[in-house]
């Protein structure tokens, strides 16, 4: 049975960072270490991160969010943007990923009670996340990055929480 832990101190953030750095190129091919470290800094300062551990205590996934938009210096606290989440393959085909979204939904409400909108960015070529996010939200725009095109999906917090709650 997998367990979610919200990062609350250096040991947790170290596990989160190690896992992210190890798997960053599976999340975004060509993603440099410096960008992944900047992401972790933003999650820690402007949001929350979580690690998923297996029964042996091994980190098998991560997720998180920031409150606000990076391009607006995180001042839009009514918007939560989900992080570059990643779970090992054996934790994707079951309800673990949805349970992760449920945990993030709860943490978003706790961290940002005024959040009205959830944004879910993903690489355009990631069929798995585009299919999943398309069930939850509407694509609002796309943009080019040095790592290829990205899509951004958006939904209300209430719709996101409602979707997550369907699987309890």
pLDDT band at 110 (very low <50, low <70, confident <90, very high): very high
* 138 phi, psi to nearest 5 deg: -105, 140
pLDDT, the chain, mean: 92
Give, for 117, the enclosing helix (H) or strand (E). strand 117-123
Tens-digit pLDDT profile for residues 16-72: 999 999 999 988 889 999 999 999 999 999 999 999 999 999 999 999 999 999 988
- CB 150, CB 121: distance < 8 Å: yes
Q: How far apart are CA 61 and CA 67, in angstroms?
A: 21
Q: What is the mean pLDDT of residues 111-140?
A: 93
Is residue 5 predicted with pLDDT exceeding 70? yes
- The token pair at 69 is 């938009």
What is the span of the domain harbouring residue 137?
3-165
3-state secondary structure of 51: strand
Give, for 128, the enclosing helix (H) or strand (E). helix 127-136
- Tally the domains of the chain: 1
Residues facing residue 53 across a β-bridge: 3, 59
């Amino acid at each position: 049975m997998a367990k979610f832990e919200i990062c609350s101190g250096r040991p947790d953030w170290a596990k989160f960072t190690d896992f992210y750095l190890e798997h960053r190129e599976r999340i975004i091919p060509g993603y440099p270490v410096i960008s992944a470290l900047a992401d972790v800094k933003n999650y820690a300062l402007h949001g929350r991160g979580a690690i998923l551990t297996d029964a042996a205590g091994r980190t098998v996934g991560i997720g998180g969010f920031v409150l606000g938009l990076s391009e607006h210096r995180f001042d839009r606290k009514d918007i939560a943007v989900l992080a570059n989440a990643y779970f090992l393959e054996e934790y994707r085909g079951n309800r673990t990923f949805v349970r992760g979204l449920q945990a993030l939904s709860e943490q978003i409400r706790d961290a940002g009670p005024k959040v009205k909108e959830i944004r879910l960015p993903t690489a355009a070529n990631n069929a798995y996340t585009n299919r999943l996010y398309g069930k939850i939200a509407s694509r609002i725009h796309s943009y080019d990055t040095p790592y290829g095109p990205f899509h951004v999906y958006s939904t209300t917090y209430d719709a996101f929480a409602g979707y997550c709650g369907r699987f309890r």
